[in-house]
Amino acid sequence: MSHTPGPWQCLSRARRPARHSSEDLLRDVHDSTGELLATCYYTMGDDGNRVIANALLIAAAPDLLEAATQTLGLCRIRGECADVQPDEYCCGEHVALASAIEKAEGKL
């Protein structure tokens, strides 16, 4: 299973950068070719900021996944993770990174 390559971006329906507009209560997440990947909708009780925050988080997902994978990989090669068993990590933060990666890969 492999996700659409990043970078992804969050846009309003008018294709303006999301941080510069709050009147539109939908936010779309597109890949680098402009293909629509996801749409976040306003929900009851949302002041409009949550839908933007949700779409921004989704758009950042490929970057976050890559950063987490690289961080763990580097620690496994030349950090404290190199000194523990392959299924263990050097600290709670790296356990959390591994868990987030597994969630993104559908392993949890």
Smallest gap, in angstroms, from Cβ of residue 3 to Zn ion?
24
Give the closest residue to 59 by CA, choosing from 39, 80, 78, 87: 39
Residue that is written with structure tokens 């990989």 in the block: 73
Q: Which residue in the set 9, 94, 97, 98 belongs to the binding site for Zn ion (CB under 5 A)?
A: 94
Output the smallest distance, CB 65 to Zn ion, in A: 17
The correct pick among 29, 52, 55, 75 for binding Zn ion (CB under 5 A) is 75
Please state the three-class secondary structure of 82-93 as a single string. Answer: HHCCCCCCCCHH
Question: For Zn ion, which stretch binds (CB under 5 A), given 8-16, 18-26, 35-43, 68-76?
Answer: 68-76
- In whole angstroms, give the CA distance from residue 42 to residue 99: 29
Residues that bind Zn ion (CB under 5 A): 75, 79, 81, 90, 94
